[in-house]
Structures are given as C-alpha cells and as structure tokens.
Amino acid sequence: MPKLIVCGRGGCGKSTLVTLLARTLGAREKVLVVDTDESNLGLCKMLGQNPPEMSLMASLGGKSAVQKKLLASLQQENSEKANYFKENLSLADLPSACVNWDGMVGNLRIGKIEHSMEGCACPMGSITRSLLKELEVNNNEWVIADTEAGVEHFGRGILEGADLILMVIDTSYESVLLAEKAKGLAEEAHKKFFVVLNKVDEATEATLRRELADRGIEVGSAISHSSDISGANLVGNSLDANMQRDSMDKLVDKIVRLCS
C-alpha cells in the first residue's frame, strides 16, 4: 500500500490525522508512522505509544555524522542526493531500536532538535527523503509520515519517495492558500494530492469546499470539530479511531482507490 505524507499549516491537525488513520488501518494492516517533525514531541502520546529507544538519526551516528555525509554529497560533481539506506529497504530491515511496534502500528522518529545552537534541520530532511525513497512496502503495509508545519519539506525533496500527499485544511484562509501552493508543488513532483478538512462544522465545511473547488482542489474527507479529540490532547491521552470512524473509513477507501 502507499507511502503517505501528511502536511499542512501549524496546528491544523496533521498529527491528529496521522494518528486516527494509523489507528484505523492498524486494526488490520501493518502501519509505520514516521515522525519527521524535528520539534514537536506529542505524536507518541496521541498514538498511545512510547517513543523508540533511539532516533533514526542517532542510529546513523548522530547529527554531525549525517551532516558530513550530506555536505560530501553536495560537493560531488553531479551533486547526488545523500543516501543512508540500502535499496529495497523493508520494514523488517529498520534497526529494531528505532521502531517501537505496538501490535500492527509502529512509530519511528527521524530526529529531534536536542541542543540550542545546534544548527538547522537539513540533516533530518535529508534522512527523511532517503528513507521514504528506499522503503519498499507490500500490499498490507502502510507508511504514514507526519511533517512539520508549512511547505519547507517540499523544498527538501521528501516527496520523492511518497505515493500520495495529504494536506490537512483547518478553518482558515491561510490553509486554503497553502493548499493551492502545495497542490502546485505536488504536481511539479508528479505526486497524487488531495486535502482533508479538519475541525469543521456544517457552515465552515461548506465554505471551505467552495473555496477549494474554485481552485480545483479535491477534498477526500472531512473531520468535524470534536471535543473528544481536543479533550484527549489536552491531557496527553491517546486518540481512538472510533472518535471519527465514518470520516476515517471514507478516507481509507479513497486512498485505497487512488493508490491501488
């Protein structure tokens, strides 16, 4: 099954969608959740899991080792993109200390900012690009990457190995503008793209659907504003797929139709 990237503006509900989707799929299929966000720490809590023993960046020798490899690749004559993994990498090939499996759902962290003045997050972006490109999944395995806010990761090329880009749209005009931008970037990279509305009610859903239709942007599903979700998040409790069962089932059907 596909490798998905979930993106959107800050606080729109990317990690929430990743979690609800992983919980829905994890009832019957294997799902690797890849946390590519170098700042936020809450994804594991939403999943109800502990973080893995170490980040993927740590397993590759740490940030400075990755940075060296990245710089060396940029200095090559044909400026090859840095690669950290073998071709046809399977989920089973990932270092066991880097994935915490709980039943069918596993979580992996690319790496987090750990120290002040430690420099930019380019090494994390480079690892993510390489991982998504080399990971091979079979028919009952999914990879879902949660990203940091905005579209910087599009510039870092993490789309390369992805099959589908899902953008979360909250009830803001900024989200609509960002979706227009992201759709163009996804098209440029020849990637499938659609959006999921989040935190909507009847009126805001109708307005967003109109604004997005005017821009030729396809809406795959809509998640209503839910006090179950915000309440759980407020105290670090995990999310349950049943909180948005219909929207998630609709979304899974749509992804399967588009990607099979």
Ligand X SMILES: Nc1ncnc2c1ncn2[C@@H]1O[C@H](COP(=O)(O)OP(=O)(O)OP(=O)(O)O)[C@@H](O)[C@H]1O
d(CA 224, CA 233): 16
Contact map string, positions 30 to 69, toward ligand X, x by CB under 6 A: -------x--x-----------------------------
Q: Which residue has the tokens 């080399």?
A: 134
Residue 131: which of 163, 96, 100, 87 has the closest Cα? 87
Q: Which of 2, 5, 8, 165 binds ligand X (CB under 6 A)?
A: 8
Cβ distance 191 to 215 under 8 Å?
no
Stretch near ligand X under the rule CB under 6 A, chosen from 27-35, 88-96, 102-110, 219-227: 219-227
CB atoms < 10 A from the CB of 169, how many? 27
Q: Which residues pair with 32 in a beta bridge?
A: 106, 143
d(CA 244, CA 21): 10
Instruction: Give the number of residues in contact with Mg ion, rule: CB under 5 A.
Output: 3
Residue 8 binding partner per list Mg ion, ligand X, none, with a CB distance cut-off of 5 to 8 Å that depends on partner kind: ligand X
Q: Which of 9, 14, 133, 199 binds Mg ion (CB under 5 A)?
A: 14
Tokens read off for 140: 């009952």
Q: Which of 1, 5, 15, 107 binds Mg ion (CB under 5 A)?
A: 15
Residue 35 binding partner per list Mg ion, ligand X, none, with a CB distance cut-off of 5 to 8 Å that depends on partner kind: none
Residue 19 binding Mg ion, by CB under 5 A = no
Q: Which of 23, 30, 199, 254 binds ligand X (CB under 6 A)?
A: 199
Residue 198 binding partner per list ligand X, Mg ion, none, with a CB distance cut-off of 5 to 8 Å that depends on partner kind: ligand X
In this structure, what DSSP letter does residue 9 have? S
Task: Supply the minimum distance, in Å, between the C-beta of residue 132 and Mg ion.
Answer: 17
d(CA 30, CA 81): 29
